[in-house]
Structure 1
Amino acid sequence: MDTADKKADQSETAENFSILTQAQYQLEHREQKDMEPIKDEMPTSILQDPFSGEEGTQVQYRIMKWCSELGTKQISVMIAQSISLGVLSLPSSMATLGFIPYVEKTTLKQTSGCILILGIGALTTYTGYVLGQFKLRHPHIHNMSDAAEILFGTWGREIVTVTQIIFFVFLMGAHILTFSIMMNTLTDHGACTIIFCLVGAIICFVLTLSRRLQDVSYLGIICKRDSCSSLYTQTDQIPASLSIFISVTVTIIAVGIEAPDIKAYSVNHPTLLSGFSASLNIIISFAGHLAFFSFQSELAEPRDFTKALVALQVTDTSLYLVAAVVIYYYAGADVKSPALLSTSTTVAKVAFGIALGTIVIAGVIIAHVGAKTIYVRLFRGTNRMNESSLVSYGTWVLIVLLLWTIAWVIANAIPVFNDLLSLLAAAFASWFSFGLEGLFWLHMNRGKLDTKRKIVLAVLNVFLVVICVLMCGMGLWATGKGISISAKNAHGAFSCADNR
């Protein structure tokens, strides 16, 4: 072979090697890119993680732990936020729906309270997990409106921003309303209900003044070991979320001892209106999902969110089922809502006094997440959030003040506890706890339905979206009818009357 042929062969070999090397590089680069978080084509200010690069700044947010040696952190916040008002309405929902399903000639004619609690608990655990995975896929997400922009663009972001703020404010109003019921119980209606609502709003406003969720988590501590009884020797701190457990336990024991001679029906036959309203109260009990993105954003390790979620769902489902069944069983068909009113006057005062921590702190956590949504929207991509300047903190205070003022108005405008919860469940919880999660999963798995497992999950998530639409439409109808009926029997808006 002459010299020219050898040079040609060497040149061809070098060219082939170069092509092979380039192809290998592209393959490796593609694999590495597939493992990286997905970056959507959106403005830089929107894509940026609001809490990234905060090392060395005056105010740092991403310092939460899901659990620590000093007691529960993320778990405490999630339980305090989720297990609050919902559990107080479940016994009356059980009284409407009955314990067990109604079956006629092998056909299920009607579901039951127990099945709904377990079923909704399982579904919301799954949808919470979907939210956690969506956040890991898109680290810049801080709240539901960020996630909505990925699916629907700018218009979707704006719509969800408005609706989630409305949801937060209505939930805050529900906590103010519960605070006024508590004060009327403790004082035997010692003052105007409007004044009690105002006192509750002021207390919650003061406790919401910190900008960091980590600081709010410390509100979940009702005492330290050196100031508590010797019973608490295994932990340094006791979460205030425990107050709702103790309060419900006191109620369960009290109704068991008092045991009024009233039937608790295993199978009930509610109307479409009453049955749907009762179901909505169960749904709102599991509707903490709107705050999950914010909780996960301030975790030092976002992947730990799943651990906190499982702990929350096991805890709340167990408590809800036991409280609803036992209180209804002993209190009978006329069980009241909130359930703490189903006992004697003295026991109700004790139970409400114990529940004070959760009633207030759960509202504070909800307000904090709502205010943080607006705050991040205003200052995202700037240094304002990590500063202690007058503008930075003053803006936070004004946002919190505005939200609690609107919540106080709502608490006085819709004075019936169950109706307010049903309205929240129908209009908002249906989407934030079921529908959007189904859409998020479908978005993450576009073009990936290549296994039986993925196909089954796709069917499940389409089912979630369909159920959400039905729940929202039927729920708003049932709630509207319920509020119109209650308005004829209850005192009017902005009334000083006793609202127990």
Structure 2
Amino acid sequence: MQVSNQRESDPASDEEKQYEKQPAEYQDTFGDEEQCGFLMVAETVSLGILSLPAVVAVLGLVPAVILLLGIGLLATYTGYVIGQFRWRFPHIQSMADAGEVLLGKVGREFMGTGQLLLLLFIMASHILTFTVAMNSITNHGTCSIVFGVISMAVSCILSLPRTMTNVSYLSVASFISIFSAVMITMVGVGVKKPWQGEIHATVDTSLYKAFLAVCNIVFSFSGNVAFFGFISELKDPKEYPKALALLQGTDTILYIVVAVVIYVYAGDEVTSPALGSASPVVRKVAYGIALPTIIIGGVVVGHVACKYVYVRLLRNTEHMHSKNFIATGSWIGLTVASWVIAWVIAEAIPVFNNLLSLIASLFASWFTFGFPAMFWLYLNKGRYFSTAMKTTLTILNVIIIGIAACICGLGLYVSGKALHDDPSSASFSCANNA
């Protein structure tokens, strides 16, 4: 679907001219679109993939594959719109900057705060997954809260350096880790074949269970929040669509293959995270290999969250780039505080699926779908019905905003119901969550 990023008739507003005069800010560039695309894959494919086989069990093979394809295509389109918005306003580095373009300072604070909360919840999901992994590896060797504290402490220590010059290498290592873990699980369940029952193309399920599964799919495509940063680090931002196509083609195919294969062999007994579907020995090996993703992925996200607050606090001060007591103390304080908050969230919502669905409902619904659709409407204001194509795209983007609102509203309801009804969702519990 081709969408023009050029104004057709009306001149840009004075505000837009002001933004367009601002030069693009480049960080350490990745290079070409291929390098950027692979790094986007490495940073996007993470914990979300572990929930997808259970999604197939809830929805059935056919609906699950259709939803994975449909949501993947929708995320690709909104990802492209993010690129259009960045081309029009080259100074944008984050969702907070985009919010400022839309609604001024209020928009910046609103979207910046939302992005920060999303990062904190993702950090919490890594802590929670660490407790599940350690309970599996050690056969619940100690209280789950202890494993959570260990994860918090290790992640906090690894986040202390203020600069992360090798983030790209860490992200690639994280991807290799999770990819290897799911491949081992696929082979393990394929050899063991723990499920001897029928494989269902469709299943009878409730709206509550089905939408909880949909939210887990949405979480898997929640990488759009970081796309402005990726575009800003391309040598030629116009090459971004190629990197986006590489990302979405790779992750959609990988999601479908992993979800379907593990479900076919594990059947209705598939677990979430999916690594628990293998035999006890293979499960321990898979979780052990996944530990770099569980730890490193959280550390990278945590560093981004801390850096955002740090820059907001010390911008335009002499402490910003110094190593004095105030700068160092501020960084350490922010790091500790952010990981403590993430630990509290993880202990308050100790069920993997429920936490992912809550993240998708509150944040991914808007950062992946709703806000990009608003970007398109902003770019094309005054020309919504100027041509047949514009009319079609206007209707599409309004529908996307409606979809985001539905995911947010209904997703919050089913997430809340899951937290209320699930007996294993007791907060700050020592129970085995593996």
TM-score in terms of structure 1 length = 0.78
CA deviation vs aligned residue, 1:157-198 (integer Å, no higher than 9, x gap)? 222222221111111101100011111111111122112112
Q: Give the match for residue 398 of structure 2.
A: 462
Residues 1:290 and 1:356: Cα distance change in structure 2 (over 3 Å): same
Match of 1:325 among 253, 260, 275: 260
Match of 1:63 among 23, 28, 32: 28
The answer to whether the Cα contact below 8 Å between 1:120 and 1:283 also exists between their aligned partners in 2 is yes
Q: Find out whether 1:93 has 2:59 as its counterpart.
A: no
How many residue pairs end up in the alignment?
423
Q: Which amino acid aligns with 2:28?
A: I
Q: 1:170 is matched with which residue: 95, 112, 121? A: 121
Amino acid at match of 1:134: F
Q: 2:383 aligns with which of 422, 443, 448?
A: 448
Is the CA contact 1:441–1:461 (under 8 Å) kept in the aligned structure 2? yes
Output one character per residue of 1:329-387: Cα deviation in whole Å (capped at 9) or x when no partner: 11011211000000111000111111112222221222222223223323445565444
**Match for 2:113: what amino acid?**
V
Matched, 1:78 2:40: yes
1:208-287 equivalences under 5 Å are 208-212=159-163, 214-220=165-171, 239-260=173-194, 261-287=196-222
Residue range with higher mean Cα deviation, 325-334 or 363-372: 363-372
Tell me the equivalent position of 1:19: none
CA contact (8 A) 2:170 2:296 kept: yes
State whether residues 328 and 335 of structure 1, in contact with CA within 8 Å, keep that contact through their aligned partners in structure 2. yes
- Cα offset, 1:399, TM superposition: 2.0
Q: Which residue of 1 aligns with 2:136?
A: 185
- What is aligned with 2:411? 475
The residue identity in structure 2 corresponding to 1:244 is I
1:390-429 to structure 2, matched below 5 A, reads 390-429=325-364
Q: What's the offset of the Cα at 1:133?
A: 2.0
- 1:157–1:67 Cα change, 3 Å: same
Correspondent of 1:314 among 227, 237, 249: 249
CA contact (8 A) 2:78 2:369 kept: yes
* Cα distance, 1:349–1:257 mapped onto 2, change above 3 Å: same
Secondary structure at the residue paired with 2:375?
helix
Matched, 1:143 2:94: yes
Select the structure that is richer in helix: 2
Q: Provide structure 2 residue ranges, at least 5 long, that are not aligned to the other structure.
A: 1-8
Task: Return the offset for 1:405.
Answer: 1.1
State the one-letter code of the partner of 2:304. Answer: V
Alignment match, 1:38: 16
Please name the residue that 1:130 is paired with: 81
Q: Distance in 2 between matches of 1:297 and 1:400?
A: 25
Q: 2:130 matched to 1:195?
A: no
Task: Give the match's secondary structure for 2:431.
Answer: coil
Larger CA deviation: 372-381 vs 272-281: 372-381
Shift of 1:466: 0.9
Residue 89 of structure 1 aligns to which amino acid in structure 2? S
Distance 1:66 1:36 in 2: 33
Query: Is the Cα–Cα contact under 8 Å of residues 155 and 298 in structure 2 kept in the other structure?
Result: yes
Q: 2:372 aligned with 1:437, yes or no?
A: yes
SS at 1:312 equivalent: helix
Q: Which amino acid aligns with 2:27?
A: R
- SS of 2:405's equivalent? helix
Q: Which whole-Å CA distance do the structure 2 matches of 1:331 and 1:164 have between them?
A: 36
Conservation of the 8 A alpha-carbon contact between 2:43 and 2:171: no
* Aligned position for 1:154: 105
Kept in 2: contact 1:192–1:496 (CA 8 A): yes
- Does the Cα contact within 8 Å between 1:64 and 1:214 map onto a contact in 2? no
User: 2:70 is matched with which residue?
Assistant: 119
Pair 1:372–1:298, CA change in 2 (3 A): farther
**Alpha-carbon distance between aligned partners in 1 of 2:130 and 2:223, rounded to the nearest angstrom:** 20
- 215 and 399 in structure 1: CA distance in 2 versus 1, 3 angstrom threshold: farther
After superposing the two structures, state which structure 1 stretch, 300-309 or 144-153, moved more.
300-309
Contact 1:73–1:217 (8 Å) recurs in 2: no
1:454 Cα offset (Å): 2.3
Counterpart amino acid of residue 136 in structure 1? W
Query: 1:372-417, CA deviations, whole angstroms, 9 ceiling, x for partnerless residues?
Result: 3223323445565444555444433322221111001111111111
Pick closer, same or farther for the CA change 1:409–1:436 going to 2, 3 Å: same
SS in 2 for 1:219: helix
SS at match of 1:241: helix
SS of structure 2 residue aligned to 1:195: helix
Q: 8 Å contact 1:185–1:349 — kept in the other structure?
A: yes
Note if contact 1:81-1:363 (Cα within 8 Å) is conserved in structure 2. Answer: no
Distance change (3 Å), C-alpha of 1:369 and 1:308: farther
CA distance 1:144–1:416, change in 2 (3 Å): same
Give me the TM-score of the superposition, normalised by structure 2. Answer: 0.90
Conservation of the 8 A alpha-carbon contact between 1:76 and 1:241: no
Residue aligning to 2:424: 490
Match of 1:292 in 2: 227
CA displacement at 1:240 relative to structure 2: 3.3
Please, which of 346, 360, 375 is the counterpart of residue 295 of structure 2? Answer: 360
The 2-side partners of 1:354 and 1:67 are apart by 30
